[in-house]
Chain A
Amino acid sequence: MFVQHFRITLLVVLFTFFILSIFSLSIGEVFINPLDLISSIFSDNQYSLIVQNFRAPKTLTAILAGISLSVSGLLMQTLFRNPIAGPYILGISSGASLGVSFVIMGASIFSGIQMLSDTSIVAGALLGSVLMILILLSILKYVKDIMTLLIIGVMFGAFASSLSSILQYFSTDFQVKSFVLWTFGNLSNVNYSQLWIMFGFIILALILILFSVKGLNILILGNDNLSNFGINKRLLQVFILISTAILTGVITAFCGPIGFVGVVVPHFARMLIKSSNHIFLLPITALMGASLMLLSDIISQIPSNGIILPINSVTAFIGIPFILWVLLKPSQKIRI
């Protein structure tokens, strides 16, 4: 019975994902009807240039970002047994922000060089994320209770944010604006070669997650004694942390910090399939995450006339009411 329910849900989610992907490719300054859209992918017509060079990379970026953020959100909620844990709970986005602050603002303060190329921003964000996760992994062996790691992650995040604020204080208006624009999140700055890099990293993380599925399914018992079930606790924690860091770090580096998708989607997925088994939760979460990002991207283009709303404000606009509902609904049965 459950398997049948899951199959139907998967089909519905797949169909929604497919429709949203078409919509995401269709809308923009010029609306392209779906038939022209499909022919523009497989043969040359007047829309091929727009679709292949601008819209397809953006849609693919939205899909990869949605998958990565929602899956890492699921991992963090299971690892920390916390319903509002998300991909950024470990302070990875703050690390990335600090890296970007250094590139945009620090470089001119310390050396007078203006380093504002997109590649250097991506490099700065990646370095910041990597640094943050290395710190977390190096202290993991001293941490007895995983909740301590959560607190340390939040504290390091605040520390990185404070350094970033200090850099902003000494920066020019232009630099601060560049930094703020980066924090808005952006799906349209990624080219095909960068997409391949993102794709490679995401596949690597997903392989690590596949090896962690059994352990994740034991973690839902809410008991710390994993060796009782033949699971190596430390190895599982390392796998989960590294895969979360890869997924979150890569997306933050290329698209900026995009909030709420990672917190909201795992809840939707659990409610929809009514199961906590990660074998079923992971594909549904990934597809729903991709769909939500596509929806946010579509909504961000509603104002038209070339105005595109910051993706981060759209995801928050959709995400916050849901989080409030999760926390305040009278029949609170969600225990993560």
Chain B
Amino acid sequence: MGTKIAIEAQNLSIGFQQNKQFLNLISDINFRINTGDLIAIVGANGTGKSTLLKTLSKEITFKGTVNVFGKSVADLSDKEFSKKLTSVGTAYQVQSYTTVFDVISKGRSVHTDWVGRFSKQDTEIIKSSATKVGISHLLERFYNQLSDGEKQRTLLAMALAQQSDIILLDEPTAFIDYPNKYYLSSLLNQVTKTENKTVIFSSHDLEVVLTYADKILFFSDKKVDLLTKKEFLHKDKIYKLFDNHQLDSEFRSTLVEQLLTNFKS
């Protein structure tokens, strides 16, 4: 399994389309992410992390170029695109009477025929994805009856079942308890290393990020930088994460120092 460039942004501007105008949130974003990398998106609230994830998953319009395995996403059909990249967001309002199996099975949608019939292989992949995230005992349960953590694991299983080369996840560990948070993060790490997939996830949990991520896409000052963990663990960078005028400056400095000492050790 050689290393290739999985996803690449060139002069990318992210933002929102309002009427006929494109409102820039961040411009001139450039990065290259390799296959087999687990990338964490880190930044304060409102800096554009979810907007970047939505941009990379073709959910919203953008300016510039996004290439997936060397092909511009603009040139890929929905079907071709979804075989290469899958994205799991945070807002799912699943209809009643939808089982966990049903939800995970949506990941196979792109591999099925025109009415969506599953082969034996599809069913096996759905079950093994559920087993990977530890919810195989919940397959018959209705999704709306699950806890927030179980819902999140179901969505992760759906993403795994799609078997795309790139997986984008918006705060996948947000509602998950401690043991599962570490289990799932190590699972993501394992998926990138053993299956040569690329996983990009946003998170506010620096412990998880620094334990498992290979690199960090850092959002600050209307800029996006792809950093190594060593580059990220710098006083200026961490300080920017705490750049909030509501926090007392002395308290902020103490927090940053403590964090840096902890993480460096």
Question: A residues within 8 Å of B by Cβ?
Answer: 1, 78, 81, 210-211, 213-214, 217-218, 220-232, 270-271, 273-277, 279, 333-336
- Is there an interface contact between B106 and A218, defined as CB atoms closer than 8 Å? yes
Enumerate chain A residues within 8 angstroms of B83, measured Cβ to Cβ.
230
Q: Is the CB of A230 within 8 A of B110?
A: yes
B94 and A222 form a contact (CB under 8 A): yes
15 A/B residue pairs, CB under 8 Å, sorted by A: A211-B114, A214-B114, A214-B116, A218-B106, A218-B109, A222-B93, A225-B54, A226-B78, A227-B78, A228-B86, A229-B110, A230-B78, A230-B79, A276-B97, A279-B116
B134 contacts A by Cβ under 8 Å: no
Q: How far is the CA of A5 from the CA of B171 in the complex (A)?
A: 38
Given A225-B87, A228-B87, A230-B109: A220 in contact with B81 (beta carbons within 8 A): no
Whether A270 pairs with B103 at a CB distance below 8 angstroms is no
Judge whether B116 and A217 touch: CB under 8 Å.
Answer: yes
Whether a CB of chain A sits under 8 angstroms from the CB of B144 is yes
CB contact list, B81-101 vs A, under 8 A:
81-83, 86-87, 89, 91-99
Q: Please measure, in the bound complex, the distance between the C-alpha atom of A273 and the C-alpha atom of B96, giving whole angstroms.
A: 12
Expressed in whole angstroms, the Cα–Cα distance for A223 and B86 within the complex equals 13
Question: Total contacts A to B, CB within 8 angstroms?
Answer: 95
Interface membership of B247, Cβ < 8 A: no
Q: How far is the CA of A335 from the CA of B95 in the complex (A)?
A: 5
Q: Given the interface contacts A223-B89, A223-B92, does A229 sit within 8 Å of B109 by beta carbon? A: yes
Shortest Cβ distance from A226 into B: residue = B78
Q: Is the beta-carbon distance between B95 and A220 smaller than 8 angstroms? A: yes
Interface status of B102 (Cβ within 8 A of chain A): yes
Do B95 and A227 touch across chains, with their CB atoms under 8 A apart? Answer: no
3 A-B pairs with the lowest CB-CB distances in the bound complex, closest first: A222-B93, A230-B110, A214-B116
- A78 to chain B: closest CB distance in Å? 7
Encode B139-159 as 1/0 by CB contact (under 8 A) with A: 010001000000000000000
Q: Which residues from B are CB-within-8-Å of A273?
A: 97
| Contact present for B106 and A217 (CB under 8 Å) | yes
Q: Are A225 and B59 in contact (CB under 8 A)?
A: yes
In the bound complex, do residue B92 and residue A222 qualify as a contact, i.e. CB atoms below 8 Å apart?
Answer: yes
Q: Are A276's CB and B114's CB within 8 A?
A: no
Q: Tell me whether B112 is interfacial, beta carbon within 8 Å.
A: yes
Q: How far is the CA of A226 from the CA of B59 in the complex (A)?
A: 9
For B58, the chain A residues whose CB sits under 8 A away are 227
